[in-house]
Structure 1
Amino acid sequence: MIKLRGALILFLLLLVVFRLSSCATQKPKLVLFISIDQLRYDYLTRFSKYFGDNGFNLFFKDGANFTNAQFKHSVTKTSAGHAVISTGTHANVNGVIANRWYDRQQKSSVSSVGDDSFSLIASDRDGRSPHYLLAATIGDELKKSKGEKSKVVSISYKSTSAILMGGKDADAVYWFVDSLFTTSKYYLDELPNWVKDFNSSGRIKSYFGKTWDRILSDSVYNIQGPDDVEFVEDVAGLGRTFPHTVDGGKSSITESYFHAFRISPFGSEVLEEFVEQVIVHEELGQRDAVDILWVGFSSNDWIGHIYGPDSPEVMDMVIRTDRVLEKLFDFVDEKIGLNQCTIVLTSDHGIPALPELIANKNNDTSPGRINRAMVIEVIDGALSEKFGLLASAESWVSYVSASNIYLNRIALQEKSLSVSEAEQIVIPALSDMGCFQALYTHSQLENGDIEGELGEKALLSFFPGRSGDVFFQLKENWLFHGPTGTNHGSPWKYNVHVPLLFYGSGIKPGVYEEAVSIADVAPTVAQIIKVAMSGEVQGRVLDVALK
């Protein structure tokens, strides 16, 4: 009897251990990826005392917080960042070097998701698809592994974010155009009825004339800079200071209103409502399969560009985003159960302060602004002085954008010059401008003939068929931008240091201070859902945070 009782106890213990082990390795029903456009990591510490219980604090209390997660590439643009998050690769592999680049065959700039072969549904805007993306996303790998059993859906206000997160094999990808959520015929032949119903519900138009004011008392925002800054522009009738009326500066609804709506916190509120509808109608996380849902909050980015990271507007937007996340997590918990999900939160890039504010605070720095016209003027002047004025072309430059300068082949042919001969004049002329930290030629990058950390970052942003003849990196606190607002794109800490937070199924809670890459997101999640990442994956599995 004693032996029998002992055997029974041993059996029960083994059963408990087996079940605990099974729970620990059980795959989630839903992987929820959240990308908050232009969310610097320091926002989470700077504004933490104003967060609710279950927004960002869901991760801080019961999740994994990687405090030193950074992008490793140079061109910190939206498209490039989202491609890194979703594929675990950089532009030198996935081909997405920036939001736009110059196509020499088409002799024009192209969008990272532009594709005239696939028109939009219910819109005459330019076609869209992921055909420029050369690496598989984690969603693509899931679809390859599980087929129709699993669903992949991606949503954002920006087509670039939604498409480059969702990938080539997503079941549905939605973004905002004009006054509605839509997609391209690459993904769907027509919008589902529930999307049509949402678009026609009047929800988006219901915010016309509403006021965006501080959600907390005015004094709380004193930790930020002044509300009225000279180098902030009135965009879409919102005005430069609180309160901001969301009407587009018009007495009736026009395109200007939809612009103002997108760059207000109300845009994020409606996006969250749309996400809830996606979960319900696609039954995400509610079937016998692993699903992936990508959500890209874009309004934060537009607000940051206009007002800057030290503005009361950015602080208010982050606090409001925390409320939106809490609402979304409550809904997911009700419909699926948070314990049945793995949630990942990160961002595609950060943002620098307005250079004029930096100069006011620190006389030892010399921040500044340059723009496309200034760069072209210097190059045209230097090459014309050396080789003579052009007769066949207006400029020696075809295009300048996102660290890439494309020299005009017609101009070079007229003067019987090689690209390398022109580069020998261009590089010194640009160096004399005093705003560039580093300048590289196409051949240097193609041959890997560069050194140092900045050089390594440049290599990760280089793709031979798409990058320019000259690649530049700005000095710290310099912007490639117009006379107001701010912009990202350089490899400095304020642009590359972003949150990386995990929560839920398969995650070991804790604060992890080791240096990690945002390219680690996709392979880590692939490990959780037991999906193999094919091709050249540059990220690694963050085993330290996995159960």
Structure 2
Amino acid sequence: MRLLGKAVAAAAMAAACVSAVADEYHAKPKLVVILVLDQMRGDYLDRYRDDFKTANGFNLFLKKGAHFTDCYYDYANTHTAPGHSTIGTGAYTDGHGIQANQWWDFSRSTEHVYSSVDDDDYKVVGAPVGATITPGQSPRNLMASTLGDEIVLATHGEAKVFGISLKDRAAILTSGHATQGAFWIDQKSGHFITSTYWMNDLPAYVAKFNASGKAEAAAKEVGGKGQNFYNEVGATPAGIRYELEFAENVIDAEQLGKHAVTDMVTISLSSTDILGHAVGPNDPKQRALLDGADIELDKFFTWLNTHVDGGMANVWVAMSGDHGVAPAVGETQKLGMPANTFSYAGLIDAMNEELTKKLSPGNPQKFLLQGGEYAYFPLDQRVWEKLHMSEADAENMVAAMLPEVMAKTQPGLPGSKPASRPLVRRVFTKAQMASGNLPNNDLGRLLQHSYSPNGGWQVFALFGEYQLPGAATGTTHYAPYSYDRHVPLDFYGSAFIPGTYHDRVAPVDIAATFASLLRINQPSAAVGHVLTQILKPEVEPAAAAPRTK
């Protein structure tokens, strides 16, 4: 018996050191989970690791998985929609086309901006009675396939892939085109909705979840007034719990992890971003939210262990963030950094005044448009074309004037030292980016990776470090600086060697690594690397020994 025990122990040790050959065609693993924490900066896990007491929350990655300390996006446009697109496709904006959360598209409307996933060809499904009806949503602007798409293509549609988030763009752009569904919430009620791109009616299990009272109970738990679930509940652990319970509902109803091929679900937790914008990364409230996320993730992965065939031994998980975040301006300036605030809308107004003086005296014009995303400045090409100016000439004029107008009209916080006053360091035109006429250095590469044909005429401004549009107490993200590009990268599953890794890696490596392991094509525009340093040696299953008579 003692020898048998040692043999069993040795077999267990061997199993821990090697990974049997995996491929999605034979459901090895049964389920892939792509987990994104919105505005999750890369230093959070190590900074607060002493807080995490659960076995299967963040410690699933820190103690049982492969944990990278130095994962950085390799582009400049650090927003939610580009980040989720990059994780899904393994490409940057110059590959997948998503440059921002929203932009002007004069081919569709000259009256308002469009979000990255708005699509007038479809309608919202499941919106509560009385809700404001917007265009439907779809992945129409995503110019590359995702990992989920490739799983569906490789299995001839047998694999099931779903995307889930509180935000539409996060649910859609991470999961892809060929998914069976993407779900996000109606911001006021918290009820999950979708678009006719996927289905004409909500599945019965989604309608039942919406009618269960869970949204109302979560609002009551946090003392919400029922006016906006997204803001009131979304910024709390109750919002994380609500979203993960919905994910469990989808996984259970769709029997993900119980099929003859590998299934996949993408889950983007929006709460860290909703709260983070209001308080900044160093606020105790954000730390408390991460502690709450640890507890809720522990519940979710424990639940998966009993609802996927073979449990967590048959689940692979990658966790990352869609972007990092800058510290709040007020506290950073007090520590001596050249931090400051400016008004993005005010800067556009000031530019319009100066351009009117120069080009249209006595006849005010809106040469620049409001409604874009930091750090893009959209030009109204109709106004410029009436002056017989080309795109290159118009963008060059704006680029030349912007630093001077910034210095003249944006004094920053009261009492700011000269060294910390807001400034525009560099401006790059869309024409430059389209032609590749950019500096031959790291910044040039980041900008080239940020290029998209979307958005019309525009320029991209590089502001000073730690200088943010908005108030001194909150924060945001939009810059090519390391604090906005640094995110976690962690893997868990039978294929990965647990440990802490200090290699410089990127979120594009998620799709490349999983595609290699699953023996499928990488997404169509993927540029990531297979992270071979974290992969266990593979072994072919041993052939059965012949029977002896």
TM-score of the alignment, normalized to the shorter chain, above 0.5: yes
Q: Is the 8 A contact 2:320 2:487 kept in 1?
A: yes
In structure 2, the CA distance between the partners of 1:469 and 1:63, relative to structure 1 (3 Å rule), is same
- Does residue 346 of structure 1 match 2:320? yes
Per the TM alignment, residue 347 of structure 1 is displaced from its structure 2 partner at its CA by 0.6
8 A contact 1:372–1:401 mirrored in 2: no
Q: Identity over aligned residues, as a percent?
A: 30
| Cα separation, 2, equivalents of 1:83 and 1:247 | 32
Contact conserved, 2:166 with 2:230, CA < 8 A, in 1?
no
Shift of 1:334: 1.6
Q: CA deviation at 1:390?
A: 6.4
Aligned counterpart in structure 1 of residue 184 of structure 2, from 172, 175, 187: 175
* Shift of residue 458, structure 1, vs aligned partner: 1.2
Distance 2:290 2:448 in 1: 33
Contact 1:28 1:341 in 2 (8 A): yes
The residue aligned with 1:411 is 383
Give the deviation of 1:320 after TM superposition. Answer: 0.5
1:299-332 per-position Cα deviation (integer Å, ceiling 9, x unaligned):
1100000111111110000110011111111011
Alignment-derived partner of residue 247 in structure 1 = 224
State the partner residue of 1:383: 355
- Give secondary structure in 2 for the equivalent of 1:116: strand
Deviation at 1:479, TM superposition (A): 1.1
Partner of 1:514 in structure 2? 503
1:177-208 per-residue CA deviation (whole Å, 9 max, x = no partner) reads: 13211110101121111111110010110133
After superposition, the C-alpha distances for 1:400-447 in whole angstroms (9 at most, x for unaligned) are: 423222222232233333333333432232122252232111221112
In structure 1, the partner of 2:121 is 117
Aligned to 2:431: 443
Residues 103 and 110 in structure 1, CA contact (< 8 A), matched pair in contact too: yes
Gaps of 5+ in 1: 1-12, 212-245
1:204 has 2:215 as partner: yes
Tell me the CA shift for residue 141 of structure 1. Answer: 0.6
Offset of residue 342 of structure 1: 0.6
TM-score, normalised via structure 1 length: 0.86
The DSSP-based 3-state class of the residue aligned with 1:397 is coil
Q: For residue 163 of structure 1, what is the aligned residue in structure 2?
A: 172
CA distance in 2, matches of 1:543, 1:516: 12
Tell me the equivalent position of 2:415: none
- 1:193 partner letter: A
Instruction: Quickly say closer, same or farther: Cα 1:272–1:535, change in 2 above 3 A.
Output: closer
Q: Which residue of 1 aligns with 2:366?
A: 395
1:534–1:162 CA distance, 2 compared to 1 (3 A): closer
1:504 counterpart (493, 499, 506): 493
Superposition deviation, residue 485 in structure 1: 1.6
Distance 1:88 1:257 in 2: 32
CA distance in 1, matches of 2:44, 2:469: 23
2:78 paired with 1:76: yes
The answer on whether the counterparts of 1:95 and 1:132 sit within 8 Å (CA) in structure 2 is yes
TM-score calculated relative to the size of structure 2: 0.85
Q: Structure 2 counterpart of 1:201, which letter?
A: S
The more displaced of 264-273 and 24-33 is: 24-33
Question: Using a 3 Å threshold, how does the CA distance of structure 1 residues 378 and 193 change in structure 2: closer, same or farther?
Answer: same
Query: Which whole-Å deviations, capped at 9, do the CAs of 1:248-299 have from their partners, x for residues lacking one?
Result: 3xxxx3x335531222221111111111111211111112210001111001
Q: Give, in whole Å, the separation in 1 of the partners of 2:18 and 2:479.
A: 45
- Residue 46 (structure 1) shift: 1.5
Alpha-carbon distance change, 370 to 273 in structure 1, aligned in 2, over 3 angstroms? same
Deviation at 1:22, TM superposition (A): 7.1
Counterpart in the other structure of 2:88: 86
Question: Does the CA contact (< 8 Å) of 2:160 and 2:180 recur in 1?
Answer: yes
Alpha-carbon distance in 2 for matches of 1:257, 1:533: 37
1:195-229 Cα distance to aligned partner (Å, 9 max, x none):
11110010110133434xxxxxxxxxxxxxxxxxx
**Higher alpha-carbon deviation: 77-86 or 353-362:** 353-362
Which residue pairs with 2:467 in the alignment? 478
* CA distance in 2 between partners of 1:424 and 1:175 (Å): 40
Question: Given residue 428 of structure 1, which amino acid in structure 2 is its aligned partner?
Answer: A
Q: Is the 8 A contact 2:427 2:461 kept in 1?
A: yes
> 2:448 corresponds to which residue?
459
Aligned-pair CA distance for 1:382: 2.8
Question: After superposition, where does 1:223-238 map in structure 2 within 5 Å?
Answer: none
- The 1:257–1:187 alpha-carbon spacing in structure 2 relative to 1, beyond 3 Å, is closer
- 8 Å Cα contact 2:138/2:197 also seen in 1: yes
Checking the alignment, whether the CA contact within 8 Å between 1:174 and 1:183 is kept in structure 2 is yes
Cα distance change, pair 503–261 in 1 and its aligned pair in 2 (3 A): same
User: CA distance change for structure 1 residues 206 and 368 in 2, over 3 Å: closer, same or farther?
Assistant: same
CA gap of 1:281–1:18, structure 2 versus 1, over 3 A, is closer
Aligned residue among 196, 199, 204 for 1:193: 204
Rate the CA distance shift 1:471–1:342 in 2: closer, same or farther, 3 A: same
Distance 1:113 1:510 in 2: 37
Q: Which residue of 2 is the match for residue 491 of structure 1? A: 480
Closer/same/farther in 2, CA of residues 22 and 378 from structure 1, 3 Å limit = closer
Distance 2:393 2:154 in 1: 50
What SS does structure 1 have at the residue aligned with 2:455? Answer: coil
- 1:469–1:59 Cα change, 3 Å: same
Q: Deviations over 1:337-370 (max 9, x none)?
A: 11101111111011111111111111xx321222
Give the structure 2 partner of residue 281 of structure 1.
Answer: 253
Deviation, 1:481, is 3.2
C-alpha distance in 2 between matches for 1:201 and 1:534:
38
Deviation at 1:483, TM superposition (A): 6.1
Q: Is the 8 A contact 2:96 2:525 kept in 1?
A: no
Q: Considering only aligned residues, what root-mean-square deviation do their CA atoms show, in Å?
A: 2.3
Check whether the contact 2:164–2:267 (CA below 8 A) recurs between aligned residues: yes
1:140-163 deviation line (CA, Å, top 9, x unaligned): 011111023211011100000000
The code of the aligned residue for 2:104 comes to: Y
Match of 1:271 in 2: 243
The 8 Å contact of residues 356 and 365 in structure 2, kept in 1 or not, is answered as no
| Most deviating of 415-424 and 522-531 | 415-424
Structure 2 distance, partners of 1:97, 1:428, is: 23
Which residue among 392, 396, 399 is the counterpart of 1:420?
Answer: 392
Provide the C-alpha distance between the structure 2 equivalents of 1:287 and 1:423, rounded to a whole number of angstroms: 53
Secondary structure of the 2:155 match is helix
- Residues 319 and 18 of structure 1: is their aligned pair in 2 closer, same or farther, counting only changes over 3 Å? closer
Are the equivalent residues in 2 in contact too, given 1:404–1:467 (CA < 8 A)? no
2:357 is the alignment partner of 1:355? no
> Could you give the per-residue CA deviations for residues 385-411 of structure 1, whole angstroms, max 9, x where no partner exists?
3223364x6411134423222222232
Match of 2:20 in 1: 23
Structure 2 unpaired stretches of 5+: 1-9, 128-132, 407-421, 537-549
